[in-house]
Amino acid sequence: MHVCVLGAGVVGLTTAWSLARDGHDVTIVEARDGAALEASFANGGQLSYSYVAPLADPAVLPKLPAWLLKRDSALRFIPRFDVGQWRWCAAFLLACRSHRARQTALELLSLGALSKAALHEIVGSEPLVSDSFDYVRNGKLVVYRDAREFERARHKMELLVEAGSDQRALDASQCAALEPALARAQPLLAGGIHTPSEEAGDCQRFTSALADVLQRRNGVTIRYETRVRELVSDGSRIVAARTAGGDIEADAFVVALGLGSVPLLGALGVRLPVYPLTGYSLTIRDADPRNTPGVSVTDLHRKVVYAPLGGRLRIAGMVEIAGLKDAQRAGRIALLKRQAQEIFPAAGDYANAQTWCGHRPATPDSKPLIGRTPYRNLWLNTGHGALGFTLACGSARVIADAIAGREPSIDIAAYAYDR
Ligand SMILES: Cc1cc2nc3c(=O)[nH]c(=O)nc-3n(C[C@H](O)[C@H](O)[C@H](O)COP(=O)(O)OP(=O)(O)OC[C@H]3O[C@@H](n4cnc5c(N)ncnc54)[C@H](O)[C@@H]3O)c2cc1C
């Protein structure tokens, strides 16, 4: 079957890999002149399969005033005259109900486990990919500054450990012993939770390497600099993706366009609950190995993540619910630098760090949209929010199973766009 995958971010490329493995003839269509130049470009690099809890959680409700009023809050809500923003926020608040948040966390844990296995399969079978993206199985240390917050986390962890999870709680000195680069920050810390099985890597390099491998070995065609303007339907199915260079026909289409999915599907009468959540990152080149973490670190208080990427240190954080315009770039980058220097003051040259602002294509409940649409041959794999790198390989396997008519190993109905 000829399948057209729309979008060459991490979700589109992993989808293409799974489809090519099934023997399909695959064409990828991408507006930019390379792979992973939008949300997948300089993200936090975390492959954080055990930390997939949704943003929408009962614990966020008391924090809402700070989101609105405090300029240095890690999460900020900046109201706009935008129905899409208000609709998304209303759905987000509904998703904060405890039973829904719990159910979502369990579903995402299953998808995370599947993703880990699927990424390992790619890494095991594609040496050109595994050698190219600074992939490390280095574990993750989530550090807490507030003693009560640490106690709550420790309690949650004990439940997970009883269920078989490999995690342990460390006091501040044990955190610094595990990760010597934290020594100077030790007085700030109440403790941490260490998960040795977590991983990290460079999402953009991973995606680009997949693109190379697919083009060279699997005969996948990638049409860069080709924006899809419209999906042409005959009423029940999609017959072509319309571009300035002509129509691209296929037997099936998979929409993996991140934020670009919303207008294209909207024109077909399918409303996707996806909204941009803006974030920022810094990349320090030639990071000082003695003062740079070897494990991935999350500073939970600041909601900032740190990943060592082959001599570089990637630092990412912040969530702004503010639409695509007016990203508060300069101020937020300066804040991120100050916050990173509190924890890793001597990691490297902060003044010349590469800076990036990206938009997570997020659903209100943090679950991606995977599966069918009202059009028989049009499939969705989009809306991965803050977890696209972590969940891409599993989502790709699920959509490939669905297209092949196989039963996916997770309940795909939980990811329906109109759930
Ligand atoms: C600051 C930040 C930190 C993050 N940290 C992490 C992390 O540590 N771990 C993690 O798992 N996730 C993280 N994420 C989330 C992750 O980066 C995203 O979920 C993921 O990149 C989404 O991938 P995607 O392929 O769906 O979207 P994209 O990468 O945006 O890809 C969509 C592609 O579609 C193309 N496109 C759009 N419209 C059209 C059109 N009409 N025609 C043709 N092409 C089109 C775009 O050019 C783009 O290349 C982070 C995100 C941000 C912003």
Q: Please write the tens of the pLDDT for every residue from 272-296.
A: 999 999 999 999 999 999 999 999 9
Q: Assess contact for 59 and 37: CB atoms under 8 A.
A: no
Domain identity same for 352 and 266: no
What's the mean pLDDT in 164-191? 95
Residue 113 resides in a domain: no
Residue 120 resides in a domain: no
Nearest residue (by CA) to ligand 1, atom 16, is: 388
Q: Does 112 sit in the ligand 1 pocket, CB within 6 Å?
A: no
Q: Does 389 sit in the ligand 1 pocket, CB within 6 Å?
A: yes
Q: Please write the tens of the pLDDT for every residue from 290-316.
A: 999 999 999 999 999 999 999 999 999
Domain identity same for 176 and 286: yes
pLDDT confidence of residue 326? 62
Domain identity same for 189 and 249: no
Amino acid at 219: G
What residue ranges in 234-309 does DSSP mark as E strands? 238-243, 246-249, 252-255, 275-284, 296-299, 304-309
Nearest residue (by CA) to ligand 1, atom 26, is: 258
Residue 138, SS3 per DSSP:
coil
pLDDT confidence of residue 389? 98
pLDDT confidence of residue 327? 61
Q: Assess contact for 306 and 340: CB atoms under 8 A.
A: yes
Q: Please write the tens of the pLDDT for every residue from 355-408.
A: 999 999 999 999 999 999 999 999 999 999 999 999 999 999 999 999 999 999
pLDDT confidence of residue 192? 98
Residue 266 resides in a domain: yes
pLDDT confidence of residue 159? 78
pLDDT confidence of residue 24? 97
Q: Using DSSP bridges, classify how beta strands 369-372 and 275-284 pair: parallel, antiparallel or unpaired.
A: unpaired
Run of H or E residues at 210:
helix 203-217
Q: 145: domain range? A: 46-108+132-199+277-362
Q: Does 202 sit in the ligand 1 pocket, CB within 6 Å?
A: no
Residue 189 resides in a domain: yes
Q: Please write the tens of the pLDDT for every residue from 17-46.
A: 999 999 999 999 999 999 999 999 999 999
Domain identity same for 248 and 393: yes
Cα(278)–Cα(60) distance, integer angstroms: 18
Residue 125 resides in a domain: no
Residue 118 resides in a domain: no
Read off the pLDDT band of 266 (50, 70, 90): very high
Backbone angles phi, psi at 9, to 5 degrees: -85, -170
Kindly list the distances between the CA atom of residue 14 and the CA atoms of 7, 137, 208, 400, in Å, as whole numbers in the listed order. Answer: 11, 20, 11, 10
Domain identity same for 356 and 284: yes
- CATH at residue 175: 3.30.9.10
Domain identity same for 101 and 141: yes
- For the chain, the residue count is 419
Q: 348: phi > 0 → left, psi -120 to 50 → alpha, else beta; which?
A: left
Nearest residue (by CA) to ligand 1, atom 4, is: 43
Amino acid at 60: V
Domain identity same for 312 and 210: no
Domain identity same for 184 and 217: no
Assess whether pLDDT exceeds 80 at residue 167: yes
Read off the pLDDT band of 160 (50, 70, 90): confident
| CA angle, 276 then 390 then 309, to 5° | 100
Residue 276, SS3 per DSSP:
strand
Q: Does 308 sit in the ligand 1 pocket, CB within 6 Å?
A: no
pLDDT confidence of residue 290? 95
Reported as half-sphere exposure (CB side, CA atoms, 13 A), residue 200 has a value of 28
Domain identity same for 255 and 308: no
Q: Percentage of the chain surpassing pLDDT 70?
A: 100
DSSP 203: H
Mean pLDDT is lowest, of 100-109, 367-376, 387-396, 409-418, for 100-109
Q: Does 256 sit in the ligand 1 pocket, CB within 6 Å?
A: yes
| 86 Cα to the center of ligand 1, angstroms | 22
- CATH at residue 22: 3.50.50.60
Domain boundary, last residue among 346, 362, 378: 362
Q: Does 369 sit in the ligand 1 pocket, CB within 6 Å?
A: no
Residue 313 resides in a domain: yes
Residue 221 resides in a domain: yes
Residue 186, SS3 per DSSP:
helix
Q: How many domains, the chain?
A: 2
Mutate to test the pocket of ligand 1, among 389, 395, 399 (most ligand atoms within 8 A of CB): 389
Residue 348, SS3 per DSSP:
coil
Assess whether pLDDT exceeds 70 at residue 8: yes
Mutate to test the pocket of ligand 1, among 6, 18, 28, 40 (most ligand atoms within 8 A of CB): 40
Reported as half-sphere exposure (CB side, CA atoms, 13 A), residue 291 has a value of 17
| 249 Cα to the center of ligand 1, angstroms | 25
